Amino acid sequence: MIGLQPVEVDTIIVGSGMGGLGMGIRLARETERSFLILERAHDVGGTWRDNTYPGVACDIPSHLYSFSYRTKSDWGQFYADGAQIHRYLQDAARQEGLLPHLRFGTDVRQMRWQPDVARWQLDTTTGSYRCRVLIIAAGRLSEPRIPEIPGLTGFAGPVFHSSAWDHSVELAGQRVGVVGTGASAIQIAPNIARVAESVVLFQRTAAYVVPRADRTYSDAEMRLLAQVPGEIERLRSQLFWEAEAGFAKRVGLPAAVAEFRDVALGHLASQVSDPELRARLTPSYEIGCKRVVLSDEFYPALSTGAVALEPSALDSLHSHRATAASGAEYELDVLVLATGFHTTQPPFATRVFGREGIALSDRWSRGMVAHASTTVAGFPNLFVIDGPNASLGHNSAVHMIETQIGFILGALDHLELVNADVLEVGREAEDAWMSEIDRRSASTVWLTGGCSSWYVDDRSDRLTLLWPDFAFAFRDEVGTFDPRGYRVSRAPVAVAH
Amino acid sequence: MSAAAAAVAATGPTAQTVIVEGVPVHCTLAGSDPNGSDPVVLLPGVGGTTASDFEFLLPLLARTRRVLAVDLFYGAAEATGLDGLLDQLAGVLRQVLPGRTVILVGFSVGATVAAAFTARNPTAPNPTAPNPTAPNPTAPNHSVASLVLVTPVPRASNRHRMLAALRSDISVNHPEALRSLDLFSAYSSTFLQLNSPEPFLPGANTVAQLHLFATCDLTAVLPQITVPTLVVGCTKDDLAGVEAARLLFASLPDARYTEIDSGHAVFVERPAEILAIIREFVSHPVSHPAGSMLEAARP
Ligand SMILES: Cc1cc2nc3c(=O)[nH]c(=O)nc-3n(C[C@H](O)[C@H](O)[C@H](O)COP(=O)(O)OP(=O)(O)OC[C@H]3O[C@@H](n4cnc5c(N)ncnc54)[C@H](O)[C@@H]3O)c2cc1C
């Protein structure tokens, strides 16, 4: 496969998660462009392919966590589990005819803008590619963050990250340590406690946990959604606007925040009767500052002792012995790192080189920035999906991804309309956008809630992951490509499309 | 978004009481507008107050501009009728937002007042309206830049009178049943299937508001409303009726129309959706031409 001539296509998408597939579906359905989707793994699905840990599930209702242009009437659960979402994405790729566009096992190692030909040159593990338009959909929760724990490499048993679960490890009869209290850890701990001999959870910071109240859809409900026209759209709309109202809790509306906190602390009080345990599980920061977790199983697992709580971080390891920051010691056979991801400093940025050979990671050395959350000054014809200020704490990531896809299609149409080859946002437009982002972020719980979270870049204390407004506002402001602030030009030399 | 908007710093809501012709009127002011964008004035609906109707809308809209919510004292206007309410509103605006052109947002009977107020007041010159009325420089009143009418009651019908009579009968003979009737008529079947909302607190204005609800008729003055207007109908509204909203849209020369899948109490059932609609319209009132039907967002 590795030839000297690069493979030439109009558009390349890096990554085949929700973002890459959603983009590919619309390119295939609506345009004549030649395009490829490069994926380092051997299947589509991104997050939902990689995260197969016991209990992995979505905390956004299934009907919202799916493409608006590929609704699914037979979601069996209110909240889909990871395997169902993975299957949904596999079906989408196959049924939309994306398989011929996909190149698996293709790790994109370098993406370099070539001004002389106005093309992006990509070096990958399966050879080189050249394209006019580069769309990076490499995810923001795709690179495991492995903590530096002294003795980690010398630990005398299996160690794995939650997003790379080792299913060959038999947990029955084993003493398992779980590090972290994010969404993954809280799903994992009660589930593995059913088989493991013991489970201890290392908690550096307590999480707010609210009731999940998952439920199954009856056959009649699924048929209703399938057979009555408009019913599925009505349901999606209702779920969307319900989730949107939750943004009030993130901007410090005192009544909404208090109500939300009461729900979480009430859930804790109703499920944990031991006052000491309850105190250890009570967060010391404002609700919403870190991602709020949905679970009906987590507190009961701690309350019954099925999962032991270590209220401090894992400090060091020595053979089988794990020592917590509190000094407490545990003998462990297996260690699960539910320690999250490299979010604010995405590794792909070190591989992208724009005008004048500048690395995107250097452009982003004080935190990710982009205009319209999608385009970066100095990086012509580059679009980033699910990158800077494009995630939400209160509603579905798919809404954001679809908004960006609409924006990118609009930008490509614009290029065609003005008969140009190269589109690049100006620095002024990007700066203005970013100062508006900073202004809106200032009053949000993510910056005022007294926690450290993966939404905030610790190099600049800026909120770089989340969109600091309603999801509808993202659609209003980003959903339609606005050419103001962009420069367009023709390619310096004519190159065949 | 604009760089100018970046200068707006939100301030928390503050309540105040304004005396107009000896009548105390409560209102709440929030947000700021250093770049001079028109303030938004909110008028609550039948049986409602700023606190009950705009708990969500007011502070969140105030993140983007200055907002004043006014709880008119309907009782004081019983003798003077609708005109008395319009005088009250004018008095409040003169004191709280002197000299400012405003964007009026009325809900339910608040929309009746908002529409009547706009018809009576000289409008800001509006080149997009087919028949712009000349601004009257001598008028001491406020001009209205644009208007939002949410599930409005422009003209009482037999149904409105029946409901008001039923309610008044029940309030005398079965006061405890009144709570159910109010919940039943305010919310959609979809909402009541999924939620158990708190009963409404009896409001000081409710009876007088219902009187307006059962007697108003703006037909004659509607042609005088020439500012850019957005009418929002609620498809499951059994109180005002979605037909009234549709007909009102069709009666105004410079109106757009959209619908929400909600009962009358749309600020409780769909707070974020109505916020989205209002926020977009107040920023770009004429981005859709007069006569257009705005498609509901399809998330
Ligand atoms: C455990 C977990 C639970 C979550 N739950 C929710 C939830 O409930 N609600 C919600 O809205 N969001 C949730 N998320 C966020 C989730 O990541 C997004 O919703 C969404 O799946 C992101 O899609 P994506 O396509 O942007 O990224 P991903 O799904 O991460 O896909 C990126 C793809 O790019 C590939 N890739 C990366 N770098 C390269 C490279 N250099 N070369 C080639 N290929 C590359 C990766 O292999 C991957 O397949 C969750 C995430 C995790 C990890």
| pLDDT at site B273 | 97
| pLDDT at site B5 | 34
E-state strands within chain B? 14-20, 23-30, 40-43, 67-71, 102-107, 144-150, 229-234, 255-260
Cβ pair B144, B226 in contact under 8 A = no
Domain boundaries of chain A, sorted by first residue: 7-143+342-489, 152-208+251-337
Helix or strand holding residue A416 (H, E) = helix A397-417
Q: CA torsion angle for A130, A387, A405, A414 (degrees, to 10)?
A: -60
- Ligand 1, atom 37, lies closest to the CA of A138
Cβ pair B256, B288 in contact under 8 A = yes
Closest among A144, A120, A94, A160 to A423, alpha carbons compared: A120
- Ligand 1, atom 49, lies closest to the CA of A46
Beta carbon of A24 within 6 Å of any ligand 1 atom: no
Mean pLDDT of A22-51: 98
Averaged pLDDT score across all residues of chain A: 95
Binding-face residues of A in 232-251 toward B, CB within 8 A: 233-234, 236-238, 240-241, 244-245, 247-248, 251
| pLDDT at site A1 | 46
* CB nearest A443 (choices: B10, B56, B270): B10
Cβ pair A179, A314 in contact under 8 A = yes
Helix or strand holding residue B172 (H, E) = helix B158-173
| pLDDT at site A109 | 98
- Confidence at A494, pLDDT banded by 50, 70, 90: low
Beta carbon of A41 within 6 Å of any ligand 1 atom: yes
What does the pLDDT look like over A374-414, one tens digit per residue? 999 999 999 999 999 999 989 999 999 999 999 999 999 99
Chain B closest CA to A246's CA: distance in Å? Answer: 9
CATH class, range A152-208+251-337: alpha beta
Q: Give A308's strand partners.
A: A200
* CB nearest B270 (choices: A241, A256, A471): A241
| Ligand 1 pocket test target in A43, A108, A142 with most atoms within 8 Å of CB | A142
Beta carbon of A51 within 6 Å of any ligand 1 atom: yes
Q: What atom in ligand 1 is closest to the CA of residue A59?
A: 8
Q: What atom in ligand 1 is closest to the CA of residue A392?
A: 11
| pLDDT at site A138 | 97
pTM, rounded to two decimals: 0.93
Three-state secondary structure call for residue A203: coil
Count of CB atoms within 10 A of residue B286's CB? Answer: 15
- Matching fold, domains A7-143+342-489 and A152-208+251-337: yes
Cβ pair B296, B262 in contact under 8 A = no
| pLDDT at site A493 | 66
Q: How big is chain B by its Cα radius of gyration, in Å?
A: 18
Sign of the CA dihedral with B257 first, then B263, B264, and B267 last = negative
Mean pLDDT of A271-280: 98
Binding-face residues of B in 43-82 toward A, CB within 8 A: 55-56, 59-60, 63
Mean pLDDT of A443-460: 86
The CA-to-CA distance between both ends of chain B, in Å, stands at: 21
What does the pLDDT look like over A64-94, one tens digit per residue? 999 999 999 999 999 999 999 999 999 999 9
- The DSSP-derived string for B51-108 is HHHSTTHHHHHTTTS-EEEEE--GGGGTTTTHHHHHHHHHHHHHHHSTT--EEEEEET
| pLDDT at site A3 | 53
Q: Do A472 and B276 touch (CB under 8 A)?
A: yes
Give me the percent of chain A exceeding a pLDDT of 90.
Answer: 89
* CA atoms of A226 and A240, how far apart (whole Å): 19
Quick one: tokens of B60? 């969140």
What does the pLDDT look like over B144-180, one tens digit per residue? 999 999 999 999 999 999 999 999 999 999 988 999 9
Three-state secondary structure call for residue A89: helix
A470 contacts in chain B (CB < 8 Å): 272, 275-276
Closest among B97, B134, B109, B102 to B37, alpha carbons compared: B102
Cβ pair A175, A198 in contact under 8 A = yes
Flag whether residue A218 sits within 8 Å of chain B, measured between CB atoms.
no
Residue A449 has pLDDT above 90, yes or no: no
| pLDDT at site B13 | 86
Q: CA torsion angle for B208, B210, B214, B219 (degrees, to 10)?
A: 80
Cβ pair A19, A399 in contact under 8 A = no
Residue A364 has pLDDT above 90, yes or no: yes
Q: Do B297 and A244 touch (CB under 8 A)?
A: no
Residue A495 has pLDDT above 90, yes or no: no
CATH number of A7-143+342-489: 3.50.50.60
| pLDDT at site B81 | 87
Least confidently predicted of A47-61, A119-133, B126-140, B230-244:
B126-140
Between the CA of A460 and the centroid of ligand 1 the distance, in Å, is 25
A240 contacts in chain B (CB < 8 Å): 299
In a mutational test of the B interface, the residue from A232, A242, A403, A439 whose CB has the highest number of chain B CBs within 10 Å is A439
What does the longest C-alpha to C-alpha distance in chain B come to? 59
- Provide the phi-psi class of A9: left if phi over 0, else alpha when psi is between -120 and 50, else beta: beta
Q: Do A64 and B270 touch (CB under 8 A)?
A: no
B270 contacts in chain A (CB < 8 Å): 241
CA distances from A480 to A270, B272, B281 (A): 46, 21, 17
B279 contacts in chain A (CB < 8 Å): 473
Chain B closest CA to A208's CA: distance in Å? Answer: 23
What does the pLDDT look like over B88-127, one tens digit per residue? 999 999 999 999 999 999 999 999 999 999 999 865 544 4
Domain B3-156+213-283, what fold? Rossmann fold (3.40.50)
Q: Which residue has the tokens 């409900």?
A: A221
* CA atoms of A374 and A387, how far apart (whole Å): 7
Helix or strand holding residue B166 (H, E) = helix B158-173
Binding-face residues of A in 398-427 toward B, CB within 8 A: 399
Q: How big is chain A by its Cα radius of gyration, in Å?
A: 23
Beta carbon of A15 within 6 Å of any ligand 1 atom: yes
CA distances from B148 to A257, B223, B252, B278 (A): 29, 16, 12, 8
ipTM of predicted complex:
0.90
CA distances from A433 to A251, A428, B5 (A): 20, 9, 11
Residues with Cβ within 8 Å of A342's Cβ and at least 6 positions away in sequence, in order, are A143, A144, A145
Mean pLDDT of A13-40: 98
pLDDT per residue rounded down to tens, chain B (299 residues) = 333 333 333 457 899 999 999 999 999 999 988 778 999 999 999 999 999 999 999 999 998 899 999 999 998 877 788 999 999 999 999 999 999 999 999 999 999 999 999 999 865 544 444 444 444 444 445 699 999 999 999 999 999 999 999 999 999 999 889 999 999 999 999 999 999 999 888 788 999 999 999 999 999 999 999 999 999 999 999 999 999 999 999 999 999 999 999 999 999 999 999 999 999 999 999 999 999 999 888 88
Closest among A469, A384, A483, A401 to B5, alpha carbons compared: A469
